[in-house]
Amino acid sequence: MTSQGILAFITGIGVVPIVRVSSSESAVQAVEAIYQGGVRAAEITMTVPGAIRALEKVADRLGDKMMLGAGTVLDPETARACMLAGAQFFVTPALRLSTIEMAKRYSKVIFPGALTPTEVLTAWEAGADAVKIFPCGNVGGARYIKALKGPFPHIAMIPTGGVNLETAADFLKAGASAIAVGTEMVDAKTIQEGRFDIIEDRARQFLACVTKARAEMKSAA
């Protein structure tokens, strides 16, 4: 799939679950639960012990059924390792141009992290497919996305931080191309209790929330 196709697939889903857990096996189980809940994309963060192995396992088990991403990618070397493990897209917490270059060299999708208007524009000009606005919840949430979309209507933005079932619709209506969801979908307590059915259910709830918000936006237009 081309990078444009990957981006269209992810924004079509509208929600990117962030899997940040304490073991590679838990990460694989969480992604499988997300898949069962109907969300066909997820990112496994590099803070997961054995994250590369987790990527390889998910790629083996779900293959082309799931759009698999690597999160918390700090440098181009890590991006390359994740790519070889099966990651189709990369998400970074901060803006590092060399990591964007690596993704573009291999026609992969990247959502670099940025916060200020200058960082957002720099990331976009460097080839970002969409810009991860992080930590969005700490600087105004949906209102901050709306403020950024004023001067940058052409830049695709994916807010991260402060996104939950109550705020998801607000972020989308403010102009977000998709939302990224962390502990609101995959949290430590649920993982420890082995309640992957809860994660599955949350995936369904977020999908329903995105569908409803987009339908309301369409009717309002």
Active-site annotation, residues: 43, 132
Whether 218 contacts 172, CB under 8 Å? no
Q: What is the DSSP string of 166-211?
A: TTHHHHHHTT-S-EEESTTTS-HHHHHTT-HHHHHHHHHHHHHHHH
Whether 178 contacts 10, CB under 8 Å? yes
DSSP state at residue 154: T
Distance in angstroms (rounded) separating the CA atoms of residues 93 and 181: 14
Residue 78 belongs to what H/E stretch?
Answer: helix 76-85
Whether 132 contacts 111, CB under 8 Å? yes
Q: Token match 């060399």: residue?
A: 98
120: Cα within 13 Å, side-chain hemisphere? 23
Could you give the strand order of the β-sheet that contains 67-71, starting from the edge strand earlier in sequence? Answer: 109-111, 89-91, 67-71, 41-45, 15-19, 179-181
Name the residue among 108, 95, 103 with its Cα closest to residue 134: 95
